[in-house]
Chains A and B, each alone.
Chain A
Amino acid sequence: MMPADDAISSLTDAERPSPLTPGTPLAIQVEDLHKSFSIPTNRVDSLKERVVRPFSGRDHRQLHALDGVSFEIHQGEFFGIVGRNGSGKSTLLKLLASIYRADAGTIRMAGRLAPFIELGVGFNPELTARENVVLNGVMMGLTPQETRSRLDAIVEFAELTEFIDLKLKNYSSGMLVRLAFSVMMEADADVLLIDEVLAVGDAAFQQKCADAFREMKAAGKTIVLVTHEMRTVEEYCHRAMLVSDGSIHYIGDPEEVGRRYLQLNFEHEGGSAEPDPADESLPSSDEVRMLDSWIEDAEGNRLDNLEHGSELRLRVDLEILEDVPGLEMGFVIANADGVGIFQFAVRMANASGGSELAAGERVRVKADIENLLVQGRYFVNSAVNRIQDKSIALHAHECVDFVVFGGEPQAHGNVRLPMEIEAVVSNEAER
């Protein structure tokens, strides 16, 4: 998705007119939509099987892909639909596109719809570009005459004028994609339904696509975009909808949708449970045992994901197993590739301020760190060292893992440091 985002990001907030003023007519109205698939546990594919075993193999499992979904999209709106795999967003898209039929509920739509679930569907490699464009145009609801009259514009936009009579099987994949995208641009539908097909072409073509999209927005087209890519949604959509387990999790502000999407995404990962001190799997040595390690929020609730810019509150509980002259604990925060990003350490002190620790004592290590980490997954590696000879008493690899969301995604690096930066033009005369 990367190149597409660049194309899309060139449309800035300033260019978003709000179609959400009251009274804007609706483009799509969905009411209480239900769709379930029966998944045969034993698929009967041949007549023989059905004849031989007429009743077996007909056990179905009902999969509720969509469970009572209702929403409205206004004309001229750029609407995002996001959700994890299997959330039902693709089913919803296919229902909107009249590829599936709903079990219950209604879909109402204003004007002509052009679905772009995959670019270049129906392209026939044995036919020339000219024939394919006409075929594709008609598939999108133009008449053959209309398509022929737009042929030049389409081919010119795709920068394929000199290849118009070449059979598609001789096209490169980039050329194919450009052609398909150009037909879609000229299809002149009132509602565009787009499923992550934007990652097409080289940078120059990206720019053209972005311009064309801007034109379409200006022309009051309604665009429904289904994507995984939060950046696209946040920067491009007027409103967005988060689908989860076949129902609407949240609908409204794209930033909020993005935030909730990430939260939803990482909810199921990690998650440290209350520790069992007798647990053999806890990192342990003769002198010390790690009882627990976690990250918590200001209220003391355990987290496995936190926002960029918030406070990273790392906690570790240790139990001293035999008397020791002195210990210190060190940490390394590593990224998903295992590369260390920064380290810190603390010396353990007893109640009187000395360094001697007695068997049976418990130590809690608390580290509160400003979270400058960018979006991604991180691990905490820790070790307990003997102060005298700096030897390792206990090693706990990846004792905590967490996910950071929010903030601006970065192509490179793992931290976003506070800084002042400027680029100043200096005149020759002032030197």
Chain B
Amino acid sequence: MSEGTAKVAELKEVRGPAALGGSSRRFFDLLWLISVTEFKRVYFGTVLGYLWSLIRPLMLFGVLLFVFTKVFKIGSDQAEHYPVLLLLGIVTFTFFQEATVNAVGSVIAQEGVVRKTQFPRLVIPLSTVITSGLNFCLNLVVVLGFILAFGVTPMWTWLLFPVAMLALLVLTTAVSMALSVLYVRFRDVAIIWTVVAQVLFYATPILYPINIFENESYERLLMVNPLAVIFEQVRVWVLEPNAPTAVEAAGGAAGLIPAAVIFVAACVFGVWIFKREAPRIAEEL
């Protein structure tokens, strides 16, 4: 109680609630603290803790691996390392899905904080992304073990993996921001998004390698999906240097323009809608 007394504080204009709100130091302190405590709560709050978050994608992986290699017998012909491709795809998509689905209800879940305290709104969706991101990082360690066990030789393009993940992180954040504030106004966003996320899962080359199609126009169509572009490029960089790159799959650099436009549009929309809605969240709740 000492510091405030000596100096005479100057009057500063209060601009009301905002996405960032208050000092940037407080913003980042809060963001980090909330993400980490939430992560701890989820993964150390249960008996088996972190194992649960690993078991889920691994079980999905096991089932899908069986179905697609033993029942339908696809993948292995087109992809050199189909099992790890499947695993990496599932784990990566799980991050995107978990972060965005959790973001949908995040603002509502933090209702008390939003309505009763001065709280930087952006912390809420961002912390769900970071919590999922922490989980993703841990899962990647396990995936790395599989990658090496399946005989993929380390290569220098692994260094490009973070670049692809950065793109994914940006997209995930933008989508989470948009969903979290839209849900406050329109409660059907939750249902719509679970369906959209499901569609995106199949519209991304995870279960199947992109070069499975005989008709190339399907490949080009899939490359409209920014997630598909990211996932395909990860495949080339991390697992199979000989697989078609995103540019090849899209039939030339021009084929990636739609995906780039969608990517940028999603980011701009996410930031714009969040900035617009953030000051009014407390009133809408």
Interface residues of A (CB under 8 A from B): 25-27, 29, 37, 45-48, 50, 75, 94-102, 106-113, 115, 117-118, 121-122, 124, 126-127, 131, 134-135, 138-139, 141, 143-144, 188-190, 215-216, 219-221
Q: Say yes or no: A97 contacts B118, CB within 8 Å.
A: yes
* Candidate in A106, A139, A144 with the most chain B CB atoms within 10 angstroms: A139
Report the minimum CB–CB distance from B197 to chain A (whole Å): 17
Q: Say yes or no: A111 contacts B4, CB within 8 Å.
A: yes
Residue of A nearest to B189 (CB): A47
Which residues from B are CB-within-8-Å of A101? Answer: 15-17, 279-280
Which residues from A are CB-within-8-Å of B280? Answer: 101
Q: Say yes or no: B116 contacts A220, CB within 8 Å.
A: no
Total count of chain B residues near the partner, CB < 8 A: 47
Q: Say yes or no: B16 contacts A98, CB within 8 Å.
A: yes
Report the minimum CB–CB distance from A39 to chain B (whole Å): 10
Q: Say yes or no: B115 contacts A47, CB within 8 Å.
A: no
Q: Say yes or no: B116 contacts A99, CB within 8 Å.
A: yes
A97 to B22 alpha-carbon distance, docked (Å) = 11
The contact string, 1 if C-beta is below 8 Å from chain A, for chain B 99-121, is 00000000000101111111100
Residue of B nearest to A25 (CB): B8
A314 to B187 alpha-carbon distance, docked (Å) = 60
Which residues from B are CB-within-8-Å of A94? Answer: 282
A98 to B279 alpha-carbon distance, docked (Å) = 9
> Sorted from nearest, which 4 A-B pairs have the closest CB atoms?
A101-B16, A111-B9, A110-B9, A108-B11
Given contacts A37-B283, A124-B37, A141-B22, contact A47 B29 (CB under 8 A): no
A107 to B16 alpha-carbon distance, docked (Å) = 9
Interface residues of B (CB under 8 A from A): 1-5, 8-17, 21-23, 25-26, 29-30, 33-34, 37, 40-41, 45, 110, 112-119, 185-189, 192, 279-280, 282-283
Q: Say yes or no: A117 contacts B116, CB within 8 Å.
A: yes
A111 to B110 alpha-carbon distance, docked (Å) = 27
Which residues from B are CB-within-8-Å of A99? Answer: 17, 114-118, 282
Q: Say yes or no: A122 contacts B17, CB within 8 Å.
A: no
How many contacting A-B pairs (Cβ < 8 A)?
Answer: 129
Q: Say yes or no: B16 contacts A216, CB within 8 Å.
A: no
Which residues from A are CB-within-8-Å of B10? Answer: 110
A220 to B187 alpha-carbon distance, docked (Å) = 46
A91 to B37 alpha-carbon distance, docked (Å) = 32
A122 to B113 alpha-carbon distance, docked (Å) = 5
A102 to B17 alpha-carbon distance, docked (Å) = 10
Which residues from B are CB-within-8-Å of A96? Answer: 14
Which residues from B are CB-within-8-Å of A216? Answer: 1
Which residues from B are CB-within-8-Å of A134? Answer: 33
Q: Say yes or no: A109 contacts B11, CB within 8 Å.
A: yes
Which residues from A are CB-within-8-Å of B113? Answer: 121-122, 139
Which residues from A are CB-within-8-Å of B30? Answer: 138-139
Report the minimum CB–CB distance from B213 to chain A (whole Å): 34
A45 to B185 alpha-carbon distance, docked (Å) = 6
A-B contact pairs, 15 of them (CB 8 A): A37-B283, A47-B188, A101-B16, A102-B16, A108-B14, A112-B4, A122-B113, A122-B119, A126-B45, A141-B22, A188-B4, A189-B4, A215-B1, A219-B4, A220-B4
A115 to B5 alpha-carbon distance, docked (Å) = 19
Q: Say yes or no: B115 contacts A220, CB within 8 Å.
A: no
Report the minimum CB–CB distance from A137 to chain B (whole Å): 10
Which residues from B are CB-within-8-Å of A97? Answer: 117-118
Given contacts A109-B14, A111-B4, contact A100 B283 (CB under 8 A): yes
A143 to B16 alpha-carbon distance, docked (Å) = 22
Q: Say yes or no: B37 contacts A135, CB within 8 Å.
A: yes
A98 to B21 alpha-carbon distance, docked (Å) = 9
Q: Say yes or no: B29 contacts A138, CB within 8 Å.
A: yes
